Chain A
Amino acid sequence: MSEIILGKVYVVKDDIDTDQIIPAEHLSLVPTIASEYRELGSHALCGLPVSEYPQRFVEATQHDSEYVIIIAGRNFGCGSSREHAPIALGAAGARAIVAESYARIFFRNCVATGAVYPMEGEYRLCDHFETGDVVQLNIASGELRAVGSSAAYPLRPLGDVQEIVDSGGLFNYARSRGLISKERLCHDRAI
């Protein structure tokens, strides 16, 4: 995991639930169908109330977001188990989230899919940054810094799931650990 991500941040506050990340009316889109994957991206974070978030994550009529990192408060991704949520963020072009904390299933889905890095800051960073700030996120050294500033904000280690994240998701990890065969295969040869 030597990744360095450079770009603009999109900042949200506490308890952003999966209905705000991808509203339920878009759940008929199937992420494994390429065109629907693209469309999911165009709806990413569209459930955020316009009154609080006048600057949208993805502009209307666009598929991609100009923001590569989401900075969030507590309990990001609470609510449903829909994998559409991390997938939509990834499909829109987000590479990482730096939150104060996550809801369990959302975190697990980020790890399993490899769609976005689910990082946690040592501090509550959503009060330190504003949407549009340009930052550099160094995943390997575990720090985030504003470009042009010397202040570095440390991130928490990922712990046990580091290996899965490094492998790029659950299936790559399972193959690298010999939990399933290296090739695509039928289940009788699995585990």
Chain B
Amino acid sequence: MGMTLTEKILARKSRKKCVIPGDTVLADVDVLMTHDVCGPGTIGIMKKEFGDDARVWRSDGVVVIPDHYIFTADAKSNRNVDSLRSFAREQDLRYFYDVGNGNGDQWRYNTAAGPLKAQFGCSYAGVCHVVLAEKGHTRPGEILIGTDSHTCTAGAFGQFATGVGNTDAAFVMGTGKILLRVPRTLLFHLEGALPPGVMAKDLILHIIGEIGFDGATYQAMEFCGPGLSCLSMEERMTIANMGVEAGGKNAIFAVDDVTCEYVDRQMREHGVDVNYDVLESDSDAGYAHKFHISLDTIEPTVALHPNPGNRSLARECGDIAIDRAYIGSCTGGKLEDFLAFAHTLGDRQASVETFGVPATVDVVRKLKETPLGNTTVWDRLCDAGVIMTENAGCAACLGGPTDTFGRVNRELTCISTTNRNFPGRMGHADARIHLASPRTVAASAIAGHIADPRDYM
């Protein structure tokens, strides 16, 4: 029998002709990503296990992206970024997107200057999963391991990408290898195109609602079919990002011209010179289950508090009032997310407190450059009452230290473009978080309750 895309990558990277689900392989890792929350612990384990003078297996294989607890006065969080910096210098890491200017100098958040104006230096980039793609670190056929559950985002590029904890990551750091059990694959065959007002986020919330938020546990989620052609790379990233919200080990997309164009462009722009292999699933590959999804039938979808599988349709939730709207994160804070959000807002005002946190510095720059009417997207959002920060990062997506921008510090009801809504996720344990697409969040911000963006087109 043939192999799925995931099986092919795992076979090739463990130098085997063939693998089947359930096999355990010791695979070569192409890129290991870590950030400020899990990096220091990973480094601690690496030194403990391999020795204080141990070196990483490849100095351009480890990509370090501080992004979680950056714009905060919290001393331990600041210290953690400092320890990433010393490690990057000690190991001569080629890819360290430091918060400052990348010259090794210490950087500190200035509380007095406030959260809105840019405080970072020229080497800072933003949220790891989006930065990996922007900077040319995500490539078809490769294995990417990250100390973050949403590492599965990179599966959008036809690679095997999954999140692990510090101990596994420390093993990769020292050896360049990882033990992986070959997962079974669920196939999602997409047909048609998403209707106007409907986004990739709606599709993945629909799927998680369908299979349950542990419905893909231990399994790969493969996306293919003619429907891919209407999905941009950013939209594919949104879908792959939330694979872990269904419990998936990895999400993976078939590679097409859209993928290769994106990857080649980002590598060229950022001086990354790596050859990658485009692999595809065999026609006789074995799947644990096949789902056929007609994109035309998807509607604006929300995941109501308290988990990403608690699905509802936006049009059926008009009676749910909201106190706050939030657009940001690796799932919903990319350029296209903000453009769609701004488009739905039109010339209307947000009627509830609304926070905007671009995922990356690049998104900030592009929002300021992109014209909209006689202004820019950035200025339009600010005029509409959205409190926009230039300090790209994870911000309130996972709560964070209490001084984090946009953190839900009270028992609010918030609609958000992020990916998780477990109790306490955005801060207060008794806050209610509903997840939706950037368009649905914009419509809801205007209405003051959950609203269907198709009514605001």
Is residue B50 within 8 Å, beta carbon to beta carbon, of the partner chain? yes
Total number of A-B contacts with CB less than 8 angstroms? 173
State in angstroms the CA–CA spacing of A79 and B397 once bound together.
13
**Contact of A30 with B175 in the complex, beta carbons under 8 Å:** no
Residue in B closest to A164 when the chains form the complex, CB atoms: B179
**Contact of B40 with A30 in the complex, beta carbons under 8 Å:** yes
State in angstroms the CA–CA spacing of A20 and B421 once bound together.
12
* Besides A32-B44, A171-B167, A186-B53, 6 new A-B residue pairs in contact (Cβ under 8 A), listed by A number: A17-B423, A24-B424, A30-B76, A80-B398, A83-B167, A103-B217
Distance in angstroms from B218 CB to nearest chain A CB is 5
Which candidate, A61-69, A108-116, A144-152, is the interface stretch facing chain B? Answer: A108-116
State in angstroms the CA–CA spacing of A103 and B247 once bound together.
6
A sample of 23 cross-chain residue pairs with beta-carbon separation below 8 angstroms, ordered by A number, consists of A23-B424, A28-B37, A28-B79, A28-B80, A32-B40, A32-B41, A47-B424, A74-B214, A78-B422, A80-B148, A80-B398, A81-B146, A81-B151, A83-B167, A104-B247, A109-B168, A112-B164, A170-B167, A184-B51, A185-B50, A186-B55, A187-B55, A191-B177
- Give the interface residue-count category, chain A: 35 or more
Distance in angstroms from A111 CB to nearest chain B CB is 9
**Contact of B422 with A82 in the complex, beta carbons under 8 Å:** no
**Contact of B38 with A83 in the complex, beta carbons under 8 Å:** yes
Is residue B227 within 8 Å, beta carbon to beta carbon, of the partner chain? no
Is residue A118 within 8 Å, beta carbon to beta carbon, of the partner chain? no
Residue in A closest to B181 when the chains form the complex, CB atoms: A160
Residues in chain B near residue A79, CB distance under 8 A: 149, 420, 422
State in angstroms the CA–CA spacing of A105 and B149 once bound together.
8
Residues in chain B near residue A186, CB distance under 8 A: 50-51, 53-55
Residues in chain B near residue A1, CB distance under 8 A: none
**Contact of A82 with B49 in the complex, beta carbons under 8 Å:** no
**Contact of A19 with B175 in the complex, beta carbons under 8 Å:** no
Residues in chain A near residue B151, CB distance under 8 A: 81
Distance in angstroms from A5 CB to nearest chain B CB is 22
**Contact of B167 with A109 in the complex, beta carbons under 8 Å:** yes
Residues in chain A near residue B45, CB distance under 8 A: 32
Residue in B closest to A179 when the chains form the complex, CB atoms: B26
- Known A17-B422, A24-B400, A180-B174: A31·B51 in contact at CB below 8 Å: no
Is residue B297 within 8 Å, beta carbon to beta carbon, of the partner chain? no
Interface membership of chain B positions 179-206, coded 1 if the CB is closer than 8 angstroms to chain A and 0 otherwise: 1010000000000000000000000000
Distance in angstroms from B64 CB to nearest chain A CB is 15
**Contact of B400 with A25 in the complex, beta carbons under 8 Å:** yes
Interface membership of chain A positions 144-167, coded 1 if the CB is closer than 8 angstroms to chain B and 0 otherwise: 000000000000000010000000
State in angstroms the CA–CA spacing of A109 and B167 once bound together.
7
State in angstroms the CA–CA spacing of A96 and B149 once bound together.
23
Distance in angstroms from B52 CB to nearest chain A CB is 9
Number of interface residues of B (CB under 8 A): 62
A-facing residues in B139-190 (Cβ within 8 Å): 146-149, 151, 163-168, 171, 174-177, 179, 181
State in angstroms the CA–CA spacing of A31 and B249 once bound together.
24
Is residue A143 within 8 Å, beta carbon to beta carbon, of the partner chain? no
Residues in chain A near residue B49, CB distance under 8 A: 171, 184
Residues in chain B near residue A180, CB distance under 8 A: 50, 174-175
Distance in angstroms from A125 CB to nearest chain B CB is 18
Interface membership of chain B positions 331-372, coded 1 if the CB is closer than 8 angstroms to chain A and 0 otherwise: 000000000000000000000000000000000000000000
Is residue A174 within 8 Å, beta carbon to beta carbon, of the partner chain? yes
The residue from A20, A27, A74, A101 contacting B423, defined by CB atoms under 8 A apart: A20
**Contact of A28 with B69 in the complex, beta carbons under 8 Å:** yes
> Which interface residue of B56, B177, B398 has the most chain A CB atoms within 10 A?
B398
**Contact of B51 with A185 in the complex, beta carbons under 8 Å:** yes
- Known A30-B80, A81-B163: A185·B44 in contact at CB below 8 Å: no
A-facing residues in B1-58 (Cβ within 8 Å): 24, 26, 37-38, 40-41, 44-45, 48-51, 53-57
State in angstroms the CA–CA spacing of A182 and B376 once bound together.
60
**Contact of B50 with A108 in the complex, beta carbons under 8 Å:** no
Distance in angstroms from B453 CB to nearest chain A CB is 28
